[in-house]
Amino acid sequence: MLLPVPAIVQWLRETDETRIQELYDAADRVRREHVGDAVYFRALIQVSNICFRQCSYCGMRASNQSLQRYRLTRQEILECAALAAAQGCGTVIMRAGEDFGIESEWMADIIRTIKRDMAIAVTLSLGERSDQELERWRQAGADRYILRFETSDPELYARIHPPAPGQSPTHHRIEQLVRLRDMGYEIGSGVMVGIPGQSLRSLARDIELFREFNLDMITVGPYLPHPLTPLGSVETDPVSIPDNQVPNSEAMTYRVIALARMICPEAAIPSTTALSTLNVARGRELELQRGANVIIPNLTPARYRRYYDNYPDIARIQASFEHYFDDLKKRVEAIDRTVGKGPGNRKRGSWAPKE
């Protein structure tokens, strides 16, 4: 569906509960028509929390010296991937901070090994990397790359995501997404909902950009303030919050997911952990019923999980993962959906993004 930015803004502003429910129902219908009832499990491996960046929202920023840093070994990563495959996940997502200790050939070898030994898709989410590295990983067999552009507003972007030393202050992530697509990756991107300084209009433009990019995967979650970051440590006086500031709420996140589904009907849209921290009991189900069709179980070994501390999240340090997959599968089946088999690659139908 082609929705001009003012119409998206209107949906974001909508307060009539009946209308909002109509949007959710429409998104659920579009989801069923275009990607069906299957919910794909894509296993997350948080390879490293080492990061040289200074993003003002993220707890893993370089200057957070109280965080213990780790990088998984090749063996640990391959064990996680094998576990993912054994559990029926058709994809592994390898995610990390911008850690240049993740060397190009080291990662290429891991990708080749996973592709050779397990019939699963490999998604990378390693931040901004050089074209040579991205090409090499693609040749090694990587299928997809996730890089959130975080916001399409260049001023806000420069404020929350300062350029690396020596880097120009342009929006490198938007440029990198274009190159990734040209290299043959399926591309995933998205934003945080409710980052301070994000206006409804700028969020509407973000959503419009999902369509322009014709994203294969859209990942959106609420911004969760982290006390050890510049952005998360400021106490905001509710009176000083501007009118059109996007709330970082559960309700607004559902709204964005539903609009993303309406606008990009073929995309893979995950239910994100960030949202399920706001509603542990029902968050996943509600996302899946309002546009989402993917779940991202976290398979990072338990002893490291607490250190991948981009935002505060109690679920990540839960000790027992014994029934984790069974519970997730039951939750999917309880809302009359099925667990997807295989990688769940994008199937292109008759839908095409309109100019």
Chain positions contacting ligand SAH, by CB under 6 A? 57-58, 95, 97-98, 125, 127, 147-148, 150, 192, 221, 223-224, 226, 274, 310-311
Smallest gap from Cβ 76 to ligand SAH, in A, equals 18
Smallest gap from Cβ 182 to ligand SAH, in A, equals 19
User: Between residues 123 and 125, which has the closer beta carbon with respect to ligand SAH?
Assistant: 125
Smallest gap from Cβ 159 to ligand SAH, in A, equals 14
Smallest gap from Cβ 152 to ligand SAH, in A, equals 14
Contact 102, 48 (CB under 8 A): yes
Smallest gap from Cβ 95 to ligand SAH, in A, equals 5
Burial class (CB in 10 A: 0-12, 13-18, 19+), 130: exposed
User: Between residues 90 and 221, which has the closer beta carbon with respect to ligand SAH?
Assistant: 221
The sign one gets for the Cα dihedral 252, 148, 277, 79 is positive
User: Between residues 7 and 234, which has the closer beta carbon with respect to ligand SAH?
Assistant: 234
User: Between residues 300 and 310, which has the closer beta carbon with respect to ligand SAH?
Assistant: 310
Contact 250, 275 (CB under 8 A): yes
Burial class (CB in 10 A: 0-12, 13-18, 19+), 62: middle
Contact 200, 8 (CB under 8 A): no
Burial class (CB in 10 A: 0-12, 13-18, 19+), 12: buried
Q: State the CB neighbour count (10 A cutoff) for residue 309.
A: 20
User: Between residues 23 and 253, which has the closer beta carbon with respect to ligand SAH?
Assistant: 253
Smallest gap from Cβ 107 to ligand SAH, in A, equals 14
CA angle 338, 275, 268 (to 5 degrees): 45
User: Between residues 46 and 293, which has the closer beta carbon with respect to ligand SAH?
Assistant: 46
- Whole-number Å distance between alpha carbons of 34 and 138: 27
